[in-house]
Structure 1
Amino acid sequence: MADTGRRYRLYPTDEQAQRLVSWGHTCRWLYNTALEQRQFAWRQRKVTLGVSAQCTFLTQARKELDWVADLPAQSGQQVLRQLDQAYRNWWNPEHPAGPPTRKRKSPRLSVPFPGQAIEVRRLNRRWGVVNLPKVGEVKFRWSRPLGGTVRNAVVSFDGTAWHVGFGVHAGAKTPQAHARPDTVVGVDRGVKVALTMSDGRMWNRTFASPGQERKLARLKSKAGRQETARRKHSATTSNRARKVRAEIARSEAKIRNRRRDFVTWAANRLCAQYAVVKLERLGVKAMTATAKGTIAEPGTNVRQKAGLNRAILDKGWGMFEQALTNRTRATGTRIARVPAAFTSQRCSRCGNTDRNNRESQAMFRCGPCGHQANADVNAAINVRDAAEATSPHTGRAARDRSQPVSCQPPTQRRRHVALEAGISLL
């Protein structure tokens, strides 16, 4: 079993890249079709399909569709196992995952491989090769040692470059206790300053310059006009439109990589320095939901809410919490989630919660005791001193778990696609 991960920059040839792109789209199609098949089986027959049954249907589809047969059988089976694990996480009362959803078409692609289907070999100090089924040896930059036995691999494309990630069994174990057992810190996540600690430190980073933001906005506007014209004339996507979309994907990938680098950097330092890290219990997914409403009941302050959503997502609140959770396995740090109510309004000295205490985004001044401090630092101190929340989940709506699968029935078109693929339920 893999207990750690390694990610490297991959350098496939043009021919290899084209085949990997084709496989990536096939994996997305297979995941969506298998999900619809499970939904259809439960809604129509109250039957829960497992991996074994769906692998049998996959074998039948490989006989009838050449482009499905081109995907390595091990990769298709890995996709079905991923879907099965997504369902298991959803059914697990202790896991915060929601129901599995369809994978949208995007420039981001991934192709999974089991460990026995690949072979990794080091060429020299800087380079290594991974031998993939039907593709052959692909070079990657050997930026760090593997440190163990490879159990699985994922070849991915993020819109800018190819990467290969290895799940490695390194025998790593979580320490029983942190090196500094009595250290506690509260962390406040903000929209102006990304992370503020209770000791007064502030960590923030800009992931896109003003020029890059203007360029990205211009490209998205152009892509929107091209898509409107395409639909108006019922035409296919032009090469120019594809180039614009590719440029958008590259720009967004660069911003995403900078954000990932920042949250990983912050998580590593917090876990190395503190035994307990306290965070507000926030439902980021619910907080960033759209407010536009419906035609019958339109929302209010839609543009203001959209701006807040972009600010929250830009700072990577959820990504930071995930990076922090991953890093705790190596340091023994414990994450404590506390209720978020009044942490921004409460005075850290006297406990007064008057809403007028926070004069602005940056200034906190308590009326009764006169305490003045940076608003984010004051909130971080409140997070540090607050008691832990009783619920282990964050932002997860309550649902009835008596039914293993509760999904909307697929449309007739989706049923037709599933049956055409040879994935029959008869």
Structure 2
Amino acid sequence: MLADAGRRYRLCPTLGQAERLTSWGHTCRWLYNTALEQRQFAWQQRKATLGVTAQCVFLTEARKDFDWVADLPAQSGQQVLRQLDQAYRNWWNPQHPAGAPTRRRRSVRLSVPFPGQAVQVWRLNRPWGAVSLPKVGVVRFRWSRPLGGVVRNAVVSFDGVAWHVGFGVHAGIKTPEAHARPGAVVGVDRGVKVALAMSDGRMWDRSFTSAGQERELARLKSKAGRQETARRKRGAKTSNRARKVGAEIARTEAKIRNRRRDFVMWVANRLCAQHAAVKLERLDVKAMTATAKGTVAEPGINVRQKAGLNRAILDKGWGLFEAALANRARTTGTRIVKVPAAFTSQRCSRCGNTHRNNRDSQAVFRCGFCGHQANADVNAAINVRDAAEAASPHTGRAVRDRNRKRPVDHPPSVATTGTGNGNLPPLAWRLTCRPD
């Protein structure tokens, strides 16, 4: 049985449990990065593809050599290696949008994975549940919703504000053959001023930060920049004060992310419950938010303006909203339709005129041919609703595939199952100190 649904709860570990989970989180990050470097080294030197079986052998050797690696549960270390292996499989799959696996930065939230057979979950009372974790013991969590299935895996994570535990459960979700309202279709336009505008005239938006919070976050980031500049001049290690400032920035940004996630899931839930089909513009958000800096030889233009636009797009959570829609549509039978984005903001929804002067401003649309006047975002949403689905959608995948040096469907060329010998490095071949 595979996990087909997720459940996330607020975890409440004790101080000692939190310290140990933090240590394990850094160890998991080190293990992932080292295993990634090992696979890259094996391919560059011998054109050999290491699998999860061979790397588990190296993990066993590393557990003998380093006490802080042995302190991490063996099941968790194996789960990290399986995650890396799945990342490679996604990269090799031409139908999957994932790119090449990259290193996990220190700023990424801490997480410790566990297989389903290593944890036990039960309910204590109405507001509280408990989960038993290897080497940690029983940890309480807020029982905010029922599990609704069999636990297949668990991930304990820290997002900068609090600890959470996420369970992958097999709930037996089956997508309905038909929606409860088969004729309901809505078009959605994503914007930077108003997050989401619907073709029926509704407009949903939310501010994820207050003015005071924005000033405080800017002050903290400025202070962190000065501390980092001073540290580099002296050549010293990161001070405890700098770590505290970084932790405060992480807490503030985590609160903003939580508000954004709550908003997009709230909207996705209502759209999928009320409509049989939701139409969106086919947008490559990653390409749209790319930097305009350019190079030293060919510097970019309007770099600061483009950076402001990038921040506005990312703040509205365009990509997160699309993922939330796809996830919710599995339970309601809603079809998510992608349509070409060309001229949806310039075209008059009444007569079809696409003159560039139709947009009086960011919010006002006035057709120069028929005189139709409406909100610009709602007009664009109507165009999205009435547009036909593209026959051959273009994503950024094909472009990335053509630029790869390694074939997309490249199979493992060498089945490497032994321990480190020859040019194959052991798991801890480079990092021999405990990660911070």
- The TM-score with structure 1 as length reference comes to 0.94
Deviation digits for residues 50-90 of structure 1 (CA, Å, limit 9, x no counterpart): 11111111111111121111111111111111111111112
- Indicate the residue corresponding to 1:267 in structure 2: 268
Whether 1:419 and 2:424 are equivalent positions in the alignment is: no
- Indicate the residue corresponding to 1:373 in structure 2: 374
Q: Which amino acid aligns with 2:381?
A: A
- Indicate the residue corresponding to 1:80 in structure 2: 81
Q: Secondary structure at the match of 1:168?
A: strand
Aligned-pair CA distance for 1:392: 5.1
Are the structure 2 counterparts of residues 365 and 403 from structure 1 closer, same or farther at C-alpha, using a change threshold of 3 Å? closer
Deviation digits for residues 135-190 of structure 1 (CA, Å, limit 9, x no counterpart): 11111111111111111000000000000000111112111111111111110000
Contact 2:93-2:409 at 8 Å conserved across structures? no
CA distance in 2 between counterparts of 1:139 and 1:177 reads 40
- Indicate the residue corresponding to 2:401 in structure 1: 399
Q: Which amino acid aligns with 1:402?
A: P
CA distance in 2 between counterparts of 1:243 and 1:367 reads 57
- Indicate the residue corresponding to 2:415 in structure 1: none
Deviation digits for residues 254-307 of structure 1 (CA, Å, limit 9, x no counterpart): 100000000000000010011111111111111111111122221110000000
CA distance in 2 between counterparts of 1:393 and 1:104 reads 31
- Indicate the residue corresponding to 2:311 in structure 1: 310
CA distance in 1 between counterparts of 2:258 and 2:322 reads 16
Are the structure 2 counterparts of residues 403 and 259 from structure 1 closer, same or farther at C-alpha, using a change threshold of 3 Å? closer
CA distance in 1 between counterparts of 2:38 and 2:409 reads 15
Within 5 Å, which residues of 2 pair with 1:164-175? 164-175=165-176
- Indicate the residue corresponding to 1:93 in structure 2: 94
- Indicate the residue corresponding to 1:324 in structure 2: 325
Whether 1:141 and 2:132 are equivalent positions in the alignment is: no
Within 5 Å, which residues of 2 pair with 1:217-228? 217-228=218-229
Q: Secondary structure at the match of 2:368?
A: coil
Deviation digits for residues 314-364 of structure 1 (CA, Å, limit 9, x no counterpart): 000001001111111111111111111111111111111111111110011
Aligned-pair CA distance for 1:394: 3.9
Are the structure 2 counterparts of residues 416 and 293 from structure 1 closer, same or farther at C-alpha, using a change threshold of 3 Å? farther
Within 5 Å, which residues of 2 pair with 1:1-400? 1-106=2-107, 108-391=109-392, 394-396=395-397, 397-400=399-402
Aligned-pair CA distance for 1:420: 3.9
CA distance in 1 between counterparts of 2:76 and 2:164 reads 17
CA distance in 1 between counterparts of 2:160 and 2:44 reads 37
Aligned-pair CA distance for 1:389: 2.1
Please tell me the root mean square deviation across aligned C-alpha atoms, in Å.
1.7
Q: Which amino acid aligns with 1:309?
A: N
Q: Secondary structure at the match of 2:389?
A: coil
Aligned-pair CA distance for 1:45: 1.5
CA distance in 1 between counterparts of 2:352 and 2:49 reads 52
Q: Unaligned regions of 5+ residues in structure 2, if any?
A: 412-424
Contact 2:199-2:385 at 8 Å conserved across structures? yes
CA distance in 2 between counterparts of 1:30 and 1:77 reads 10
Aligned-pair CA distance for 1:19: 0.8
CA distance in 1 between counterparts of 2:244 and 2:303 reads 31
Q: Secondary structure at the match of 1:153?
A: strand
Contact 2:29-2:104 at 8 Å conserved across structures? yes
Q: Which amino acid aligns with 1:56?
A: V
Q: Which amino acid aligns with 1:106?
A: S
Are the structure 2 counterparts of residues 402 and 276 from structure 1 closer, same or farther at C-alpha, using a change threshold of 3 Å? same
Q: Which amino acid aligns with 2:351?
A: C
Q: Which amino acid aligns with 1:399?
A: D
For structure 1, which segment, 116-125 or 209-218, has the greater mean C-alpha deviation from structure 2 after superposition? 116-125
Q: Unaligned regions of 5+ residues in structure 1, if any?
A: 407-414
Aligned-pair CA distance for 1:99: 1.7
For structure 1, which segment, 69-78 or 103-112, has the greater mean C-alpha deviation from structure 2 after superposition? 103-112
Are the structure 2 counterparts of residues 159 and 108 from structure 1 closer, same or farther at C-alpha, using a change threshold of 3 Å? same
Over the matched positions of the two proteins, sequence identity in percent amounts to 81
Aligned-pair CA distance for 1:404: 4.7
- The TM-score with structure 2 as length reference comes to 0.92
